[in-house]
Amino acid sequence: MKRRSKAGGEVRNAATLKAIDNGYRGQQKASNRSVRGRSRSMSWLELHAQLGHKVKIYLAPECRNMVDRVQASTGTRPATSSEIVELHYVPEAHLPCEPWHPLTMDEQAALIAERPPQDMARTVSIVKLPGKFKPDVWRSFEPVEGAEVPDEIVASLESVCTLHDPLNWIGPNRNQPGLKTVTVGNDGTHHVGLHLDSWDNLELARRLESTNRICVNIGASSRYFLFLPFSLEQMKHILSTRHQKASIHHLAIGDHFMEQFPTVPAIRCRLAPGEAYIAPTENLIHDGSSEGQQQADQQFTVLGHIRPLSEC
């Protein structure tokens, strides 16, 4: 069956999120000081161990040999004033804390799944496209309404995953090299930092039903996928059980979680050219990163209900 592109756009309004966020922040300044002290006393692994339906990473067999495939930061932090001014981050942005380190044995045990996932709403999968990768085919696709997706692209994707409707062929995109995080807001200028997608615009109770995405590295060098190791509903649960009395809009949960638990690491997965991540970006705080690249960061994205093949 021929695959065709259809129009689509991300529902993410930076001004709206800032208004939501600032309203909650005004209520929380006094409690943040005491809660942060308690938050630091419990490691992220202890928090992770208390929860069911844990966020996991599945590495396809051919993706398990890269030494620095998965790393963890030392936590997250707000963007500095210089980053806001010089690198054009929004004032409420959060970024990973450096340095990055290889996963410890305990972190590997907590995060790495040995088998293909059943729970796609809480799993990040890393896969490798077969054969000799030809990035020019992917870069030249124009995702206009009704455009026919080249058979080579469809066949390559279907060799590593199943693609279930509703599919949205976002297609190729490029970012500057050397960026800690790559996503910009609706103004097309300011970086938002670690964030939540809302293409489907579902409420918190239905986030598990959201579409996920596959994002292929079509650039010339490795790029990274960053995410927090807790799902959106898990962060909400942790915040509510830590005596947070004010209600939190679900689009602001991530920012407040990072404020309260600054030592929870960001996890990053390295993706070589021709490799891809499959991730529930409507249910994970995340971003891409082009750190270390010397040329443009390029990727190809499809949204849908996407699952890695069990034999890939």
Closest to 121 in 3D by CA, of 200, 10, 238? 200
Query: How does residue 146 score in pLDDT terms, banded at 50, 70 and 90?
Result: confident
pLDDT tens for 34-47 read: 334 444 446 999 99
Q: pLDDT value at position 244?
A: 61
pLDDT tens for 230-271 read: 999 999 999 988 756 457 888 899 999 999 999 999 999 999
Provide φ and ψ at 243, rounded to 5°: 70, 35
DSSP 174-213: EE-SS-S---B-TTSSSB--SB---SS---GGGGGGS-EE
Do β-strands 212-217 and 275-279 pair in parallel, antiparallel, or remain unpaired?
Answer: antiparallel
As a whole number of angstroms, the distance between CA 312 and CA 308 comes to 7
What are the residue boundaries of the structural domains of the chain, listed by start?
Answer: 14-308
Which DSSP state fits 132?
A: S
Closest to 281 in 3D by CA, of 207, 186, 182? 207
Helices (H), the chain: 14-40, 44-49, 81-86, 105-111, 135-139, 151-158, 232-241, 253-260
